[in-house]
């Protein structure tokens, strides 16, 4: 049985490229030497999580996966569908709560919290790789 998916791979690739840009910003401001770096890091971490959630949503829609009940559920679905491994899913779900705080309770986010995420930013780069590998497995090289 041949399944035809309508996956917006151009949008996914654009979001993954933006996620890499967020990682590059995190590379540049790793030590948070001043307030400008803190604000740049806050924005980079927030947008990085938005990219993860947006990529997950586009993949869930395009591959007709089950409907998510929230942001953490998007990560769960990506784990269930073997887009991302269990260890990566656990860490990303922890960061989803920080995403909400960066968006709504930004006055409560500490430099130490941002440093902790930025110290593990390679997970975002792994996410990029996992998504690209999944797309290649499901859609072929020329997706």
In the residue annotation, 99 being an active-site residue is answered as yes
The active-site residue, picked from 99, 104, 125, 137, is: 99
- Cβ burial 10-45 (10 Å sphere, 16+ → b, else e): eebbebbebbeebbebbeebeebeeeebbebbbebb
Contact 139, 83 (CB under 8 A): no
Rounded CA-CA distance 50/53 in Å is: 5
Q: Which residues are catalytic?
A: 99
């Amino acid at each position: 049985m041949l399944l035809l998916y309508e996956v917006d791979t151009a949008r996914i690739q654009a979001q993954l490229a933006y996620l890499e840009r967020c990682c590059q910003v995190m590379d540049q401001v790793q030590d948070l030497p001043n307030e400008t770096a803190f604000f740049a890091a806050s924005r980079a971490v927030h947008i990085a999580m938005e990219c993860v959630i947006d990529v997950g949503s586009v993949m869930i829609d395009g591959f007709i996966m089950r409907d998510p009940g929230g942001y953490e559920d998007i990560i769960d679905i990506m784990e269930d569908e073997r887009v991302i491994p269990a260890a990566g899913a656990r860490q990303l779900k922890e960061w989803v709560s920080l995403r909400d705080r960066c968006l709504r309770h930004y006055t409560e986010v500490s430099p130490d919290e941002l440093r902790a995420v930025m110290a593990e930013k390679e997970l975002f780069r792994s996410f990029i790789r996992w998504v690209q590998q999944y797309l290649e497995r499901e859609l072929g090289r020329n997706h």
